[in-house]
């Protein structure tokens, strides 16, 4: 819901939807990451950069290699006129040695992320 509201240029309503989300509802890291990333995007859209940066940083606590929160922070720092910080973040993204795993890339696919496990389970049930 928050993503739809944000894409509809209704960030205040998106934030209200995110405020109703409780991390205790799930243990699934991807969902927690998405909620925190969307919170950062929403707070950035509301011109609340300090809170947005904290939200992006909390998304990185779940997926440290993710690019999307770093890009969000980089954009905020560039808008603040902090070009050296933005450039350093950009350089870190471009030269990262670790394998990048950003769940934002699969957001649009929804439950497709479960397909490999579902396929495996169905094959086991079928005896194959």
Task: Tell me the domain boundaries of the chain.
Answer: 2-126
CATH fold for domain 2-126: 1.25.40
**pTM for the structure as a whole:** 0.78
3-state secondary structure of 67: coil
**How far apart are alpha carbons 127 and 3 in whole angstroms?**
40
**How far apart are alpha carbons 2 and 40 in whole angstroms?**
12
What is the predicted pLDDT for the residue at 114?
Answer: 66
Band (pLDDT 50/70/90 cuts) for residue 46 is very high
Contact assessment for residue 80 and residue 49, using Cβ atoms and an 8 Å cutoff: yes
**DSSP-derived secondary structure letter, 21:** -
Query: For 66-121, what is each residue's pLDDT tens digit?
Result: 889 999 999 999 999 999 999 999 888 887 776 667 766 665 556 666 677 777 88
In the predicted model, what is the mean pLDDT of residues 43-47?
98
What is the predicted pLDDT for the residue at 110?
Answer: 67
């Amino acid at each position: 819901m928050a993503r739809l509201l944000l894409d509809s240029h209704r960030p205040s309503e998106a934030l209200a939807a995110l405020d109703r989300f409780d991390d205790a509802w799930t243990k699934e890291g991807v969902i927690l990451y998405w909620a925190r990333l969307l919170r950062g995007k929403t707070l950035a859209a509301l011109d609340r950069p300090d809170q947005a940066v904290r939200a992006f940083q909390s998304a990185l606590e779940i997926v440290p290699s993710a690019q999307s929160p770093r890009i969000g922070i980089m954009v905020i720092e560039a808008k603040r006129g902090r070009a050296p910080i933005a450039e350093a973040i950009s350089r870190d993204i471009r030269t990262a040695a670790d394998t990048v795993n950003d769940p934002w890339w699969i957001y649009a696919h929804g439950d497709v992320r479960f397909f490999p496990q579902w396929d495996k389970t169905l094959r086991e049930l079928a005896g194959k």
